Amino acid sequence: MKTLKSLVRGQWHEADSGFADLVNPSTGEIVARASSAGIDFPAAYAFARDIGGPALRTLSVARRGALLKQVSKEIHQHREELIALSLMNSGATRKDAKFDLDGATGTLAYYASLSRDAGDARYVALDDGLQLGRTTRFWGRHLLVPRQGVAVHINAFNFPAWGFAEKAAQAILAGMPVITKPATSTAMVTERCIEIIQEAGILPEGVLSLICGSTGDLLSLLGGQDVLAFTGSADTALKLRSYPNLLGSNTRANLEADSLNAAVLGPGVDDDSDTWDLFLADVFREMTQKSGQKCTAVRRILVPQDRLAPVREALCDRLAGIVVGNPSDGSVNMGPLATADQLQDAVDGIALLRKSSELVFGTGERCDGIGAEPGTGFYMAPVLLEAGDPAGATVLHQHEVFGPVATLMPYDGSPQAASELVAMAGGTLVTSLYCDDQSFVESFTAGSGAYTGRLYLGSRKMADQAPGSGVALPQSLHGGPGRAGGGEELGGLRGIAIYSQPVAIQGSRPMVDKLCGEFHSR
Ligand code: NAP
């Protein structure tokens, strides 16, 4: 059985105790083990900060971008091997595994491309400047200066490649060394990605470290120059943000947590229109891709009362085409949940939601999978629920079931009612609206925009180009208010702001312009 290693102080560390098992969720078989026992966390942190940080900061932004491009290419060259690992350790179908890996390499390549015009700049400026004195001789600009600490990245189990890569791309381009920690249950893909990068000798020593297993006392070492970026559940987010040293030194913490995303069908959408087809295709994909284990998955489907029956029927038809089972069987198009605990949480969560809704598709219980021994694996068929009174059932807006599960919710067809239901989740990563009526779009945006990080406006004019509401494109912000964690990642060069100190520079115009250079994030 494989023992996962950590990369600290430029060396591979293998623990000899305290192991957690990693399981193939399609079979229940133990495939690896991981532990961080024996890591000297203060030394690992100091190495990243004092060796990796300075090495990175002496490089120009363009040079850092070139490193990201090499990292992207190197991971891509190992795509088939990584897909096979993902099938084994995450239960991902081939399509789901590609989504994770191509998301990782695509985001790295995108951040590399942003630095193409950076010349020899070592900083990114936020603007061109403005006159501060009587004349333009006294001039001001804003500059992003890399923080001189360490970026600690803690990721969720569902995107072992993309999760690590999107955070690392932003930090490294900004000039911060990274210590990345994947969720233990699916860490095999991340561990292999880091091994590939290390073997290729791309990054200066100390720029990228890996912890497989617990973070030990790492978080208690962080101070005002460090960054903690976390993706996972709201409960863990609260625990991490409450570390006294993080609060005491105002350590930058960027948190991406739970999200009960809504897909809203606007009024007057004909069921033979492109907008209708896009709505159904997106909802179906967002319920079933990666077995619904996506932070951007649709959990709430808001439909005008008079369209409820055709939407229910069309969704049930599509869900009936799902074949749940071991992804190594060619007929399977949805794999298992990632762990036994995730499956149990989903079963318990559906039972809770059913107190305020009816089951209209699926059972909400474990099932056997095609291509798997009966009784083995963590399988669940998709579940569609329907709520009679969604405004009166708080739990449907607050309890996230992280699986192939969503709830149909009727509303009266007004933008106000739709916005109020969206807001009941207390903050989401994405809200999608399917509507060709501009005035509805405007009222809905005014009512619900403050409760979401991204508004995806599905309409007939973009239907043939849209990648779907669930894709976190690196060009756009990813994050959301309230329950969604309050974080902001990606969004092009805005994403490097997390890892930088924005400094207001004031002085003589030639001196300020020479210091800040031509490369800016606008
Ligand atoms: P989780 O249990 O909160 O774990 C997330 C990460 O935190 C894992 O790496 C975990 O490590 C680590 N962790 C847990 N307790 C910790 C502690 N005390 N100190 C340091 N690290 C700790 O979440 P999950 O089950 O992996 O992921 C599912 C959740 O993530 C869902 O709620 C989903 O909504 C959310 N999610 C959000 C986004 C987003 O972008 N907003 C994206 C994906 C997922 P171990 O695995 O070693 O315990």
pLDDT given at position 120: 87
**What is the chain's mean pLDDT, rounded?**
96
Tens of pLDDT along 21-74? 999 999 999 999 999 999 999 999 999 999 999 999 999 999 999 999 999 999
Is the CB of 183 within 6 Å of ligand 1? yes
Whether the predicted pLDDT of 461 surpasses 80: yes
365-408 tens-digit pLDDT: 999 999 999 999 999 999 999 999 999 999 999 999 999 999 99
Going from the Cα of 253 to the center of ligand 1, the distance in angstroms, rounded, reads 15
How far the first Cα of the chain sits from its last, in Å, is 50
- Find the farthest-apart pair of alpha carbons in the chain and give their distance in angstroms, rounded: 80
- What would the pLDDT profile of 387-399 be if each residue is shown by its tens digit? 999 999 999 999 9
Question: Which residues are paired to 433 by β-bridges?
Answer: 264, 457
Q: In this predicted structure, what is the pLDDT of residue 382?
A: 98
Q: Does the C-beta of 155 come closer than 6 Å to ligand 1? A: yes
Q: Among residues of the chain, what percentage have pLDDT more than 90?
A: 95
**H or E element at residue 22:** strand 20-23
Cβ–ligand 1 distance for 157 under 6 Å, the answer: yes
Over range 310-322, report the average pLDDT.
98
Residues 207-246 as b/e (b if ≥16 CB within 10 A, e otherwise) read: bbbbbbbbbbebbebbeebbbbbbbbbbeebeebbeeeeb
Domains of the chain: 41-257+486-516 (3.40.605.10), 261-475 (3.40.309.10)
Q: Which residues are catalytic?
A: 256, 295
Kindly report the protein residue whose alpha carbon is nearest to atom 30 of ligand 1.
232
Judged against a pLDDT cut of 90, whether residue 324 lies above it is answered with yes
pLDDT in tens, 111-144: 999 998 888 888 999 989 999 999 999 999 999 9
Residue 501 C-alpha to ligand 1 middle, in angstroms?
A: 27
CA of 428 to the centre of ligand 1 (A): 17
| Nearest CA residue ID for atom 9, ligand 1 | 183
Q: How far apart are CA 157 and CA 168, in angstroms?
A: 16
Q: Is the CB of 472 under 6 A from ligand 1?
A: no
Q: Using a 6 Å cutoff on CB, does residue 215 contact ligand 1?
A: yes
**Stretch 97-115: mean pLDDT:** 97
Q: Which of the two residues, 53 and 258, has the higher pLDDT score?
A: 53
**Ligand 1 in reach of 211 Cβ (< 6 A):** no
Give the per-residue pLDDT at 518: 81
Residue 488: CB within 6 Å of ligand 1? Answer: no
Sign of CA dihedral 141, 146, 151, 156: positive
Residue 133: alpha-carbon gap to chain centroid: 44
Element (H, E) at 385: strand 383-386
CA 231 to chain centre: 7
Contacts of residue 84, Cβ cutoff 8 Å, sequence gap at least 6: none
Q: Which tens digits make up the pLDDT trace of 478-522?
A: 999 999 999 999 999 999 999 999 999 999 999 999 999 888 775
Distance 120 CA to ligand 1 centre (A): 38
Residue to substitute in 33, 99, 154 for testing ligand 1 pocket (most ligand atoms within 8 angstroms of CB): 154
Query: What would the 3-class secondary structure string for 171-197 be?
Result: HHHHCCCEEEECCHHHHHHHHHHHHHH
How large is the average pLDDT for residues 276-298? 97
Per DSSP (E only), the strands in 90-222 are 124-125, 130-131, 138-146, 151-154, 178-181, 208-210
Q: In what order do the strands lie in the sheet with 298-304?
A: 358-361, 383-386, 405-411, 298-304, 261-265, 431-434, 455-458
pLDDT at 118: 86
Give residue 232 CA to ligand 1 midpoint distance, Å.
Answer: 3
